[in-house]
């Protein structure tokens, strides 16, 4: 595929070198089009050597080849990373003062922007309006990650990890549907930890890979994603707002608050069923003698609570609301996960009936199965009877099956 990598003048321009490598090493032909300001951060020789193509920011070089039209028209994808506040504004307003903005005006292929800037610039009304304009024209604008910015400051505005931008671009190239555009989804991922004392906890083997794949694919399909991540060390998925939690109580609070106006909640996190009845304030020492037994108490069942809250809200609907159908009550679709070591389907069916969710993804777990692996196999049980088998494959594939089923259930 022919990819145009637009690079604008932000401090994260150096990270685009890695994005370029990811494209070229997977067989894509990449033409880099930097802005003049981008060349102050990373020079043309770097882009030319890494891409194998000449590099210019101007429409006046190699004019006989009419690059200001030809590059955009010949592209299968244009990705601008990092996209400065300035380049977003120029693209939104159709300005064409350099080769990159000419290319954006002549491209008929999908366009992806990966903005990076200081939080104040990202949150400014002008930038918000420019992003909305670009999205309304069909461009994919990946929300920046939160984290360390140019100086000592932190906040939303950081360029997502190049590998995450690359994955988002591959999804756009593969023509994934944008059927979750305008939908608000909440995904929980990872595994909760229950403290025994300040240094020890009871945890589980969940890596967060499946939840992160769900968040990444939902964002690629256009959803506004809140990812509630419990103890996950993976790179932030491009385009998701992340809330980090540790314990089940924290995860419950974050999920319930984010799901109040959500269209979809997917509970992919492995939530501890039990926690120690009490937490020691100081580290339990070997010298304290024989350890005392740890008494466990039950944690709240968040999936059942989501289902119960929705059931109660549906019952309380006024006659007028009821005419809008059960879909009037958020979350419109609730998806649970069941990790089972034996009697997988029977346990899954029983859990689906008990929890009041719409879909239940059932998978077998154990050593080398599901936890921490790149792939997964599962059965998705649908309330009402259907069961969809998903053969072993990348966790993104399972995620896409889940979103297909979810999209079909959204009003
Ligand atoms: C050290 C430094 C870092 C900058 N980082 C960013 C940035 O991350 N995002 C941004 O929007 N602008 C940033 N700017 C401001 C842009 O470089 C400036 O708006 C420039 O006009 C952008 O031009 P371009 O969009 O044509 O590349 C930075 C400027 C400097 C001097």
The answer on 209 and 107 residing in a single domain is no
Task: Give the residue numbers of the binding site for CTP.
Answer: 273, 283, 300-303, 337, 351, 355
The answer on 24 and 67 residing in a single domain is yes
Question: What pLDDT digit, counting tens, does each position of 367-379 carry?
Answer: 555 565 667 889 9
Mean pLDDT of the 253-274 span: 96
pLDDT value of position 396: 87
* Ligand 1 cavity residues, CB under 6 Å: 8-12, 35, 37-38, 84-87, 116-117, 121, 150
34 in any annotated domain: yes
The answer on 243 and 158 residing in a single domain is no
Say yes or no to pLDDT of 103 above 90.
yes
Greater confidence (364 vs 141) lies with: 141
Mean pLDDT of the 307-318 span: 86
The answer on 79 and 39 residing in a single domain is yes
96 in any annotated domain: yes
Q: 292: exposed, middle or buried (C-beta count within 10 Å: 0-12, 13-18, 19+)?
A: exposed
Greater confidence (365 vs 369) lies with: 365
pLDDT tier at 385, thresholds 50, 70, 90: confident
179 in any annotated domain: no
Of all residues in the chain, the percent with pLDDT exceeding 70 is 95
pLDDT value of position 374: 66
The answer to whether 185 and 265 have CB atoms below 8 angstroms apart is: yes
**CATH label of the domain that carries residue 163:** 3.40.50.1950
Say yes or no to pLDDT of 339 above 90.
no
The answer on 157 and 216 residing in a single domain is no
CA of 78 to the centre of ligand 1 (A): 20
Q: Mutual orientation of helices 162-173 and 209-220 as an angle, nearest 10°?
A: 50
The answer on 201 and 164 residing in a single domain is no
> How many domains does one find in the chain?
2
Q: Which of 173, 203, 218 is the last residue of a domain?
A: 173
CA of 118 to the centre of ligand 1 (A): 10
Q: Which of 133, 152, 173 is the last residue of a domain?
A: 173
The answer on 367 and 297 residing in a single domain is yes
Say yes or no to pLDDT of 139 above 80.
yes
61 in any annotated domain: yes
**CATH label of the domain that carries residue 397:** 3.40.50.10300
Least confident of 139-143, 163-167, 223-227, 372-376: 372-376
pLDDT value of position 266: 98
The answer on 383 and 246 residing in a single domain is yes
The answer on 216 and 169 residing in a single domain is no
The answer on 213 and 139 residing in a single domain is no
The SS3 assignment for 211 reads helix
Q: Is 62 left (phi over 0), alpha (psi -120 to 50) or beta?
A: left
The parent domain of residue 46 ranges over 2-173
Mutate to test the pocket of ligand 1, among 6, 10, 91, 104 (most ligand atoms within 8 A of CB): 10
User: How many CA atoms within 13 Å lie on the side-chain side of 63?
Assistant: 2
178 in any annotated domain: no
The answer on 152 and 262 residing in a single domain is no
Mutate to test the pocket of ligand 1, among 37, 100, 122 (most ligand atoms within 8 A of CB): 37
Tell me the pTM: 0.75
Mean pLDDT of the 376-400 span: 89
Peptide bond before 128: cis, by omega within 30 degrees of 0? no
The answer on 125 and 217 residing in a single domain is no
Q: Which of 113, 141, 173 is the last residue of a domain?
A: 173
């Amino acid at each position: 595929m022919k990819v145009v990598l637009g690079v604008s003048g932000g401090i994260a321009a150096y990270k685009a070198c890695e994005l370029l490598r990811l494209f070229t090493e997977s067989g894509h032909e990449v033409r880099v089009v930097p802005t003049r300001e981008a060349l102050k951060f990373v020079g043309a020789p770097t882009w030319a050597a890494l891409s194998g193509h000449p590099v210019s920011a101007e429409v006046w070089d190699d004019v006989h080849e009419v690059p200001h039209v030809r590059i955009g028209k010949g592209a299968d994808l244009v990705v601008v990373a990092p996209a400065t506040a300035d380049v977003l504004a120029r693209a939104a307003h159709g300005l064409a003062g350099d080769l990159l903005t000419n290319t954006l005006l002549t491209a008929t292929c999908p366009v992806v922007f990966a903005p990076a800037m200081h939080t104040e610039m990202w949150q400014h009304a002008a930038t918000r309006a420019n992003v909305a304009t670009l999205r309304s024209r069909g461009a994919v604008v990946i929300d920046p990650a939160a984290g360390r910015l140019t100086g000592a400051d932190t906040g939303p505005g950081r360029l997502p990890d190049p590998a995450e931008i690359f994955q988002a671009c591959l999804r756009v190239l593969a023509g994934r549907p944008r059927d979750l555009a305008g939908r608000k989804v909440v995904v929980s991922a990872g595994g909760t930890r229950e403290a025994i004392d300040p240094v020890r906890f009871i945890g589980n083997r969940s890596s967060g890979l499946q939840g992160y794949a769900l968040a990444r694919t939902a964002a690629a399909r256009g959803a506004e994603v809140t990812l509630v991540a419990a103890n996950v060390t993976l790179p932030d998925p491009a385009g998701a707002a992340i809330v980090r939690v540790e314990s089940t109580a924290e995860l419950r609070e974050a999920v319930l608050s984010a799901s109040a106006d959500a269209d979809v909640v997917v509970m992919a996190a492995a939530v501890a069923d039990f926690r120690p009845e009490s937490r020691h304030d100081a580290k339990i020492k070997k010298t304290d003698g024989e350890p005392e037994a740890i008494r466990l108490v039950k944690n709240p069942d968040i999936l059942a609570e989501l289902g119960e809250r929705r059931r109660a809200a549906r019952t309380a609907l006024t006659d007028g609301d009821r005419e809008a159908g059960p879909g009037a009550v958020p979350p419109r679709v609730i998806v649970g996960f069941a990790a089972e070591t034996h009697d997988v389907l029977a346990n899954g069916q029983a859990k689906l009936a008990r929890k009041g969710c719409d879909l239940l993804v059932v998978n077998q777990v154990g050593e080398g199965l599901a936890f921490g692996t790149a792939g997964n196999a599962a059965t998705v049980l649908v309330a009402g009877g259907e069961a969809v088998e998903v053969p072993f494959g990348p966790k993104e594939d399972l995620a896409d099956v889940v979103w297909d089923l979810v999209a079909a259930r959204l009003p």
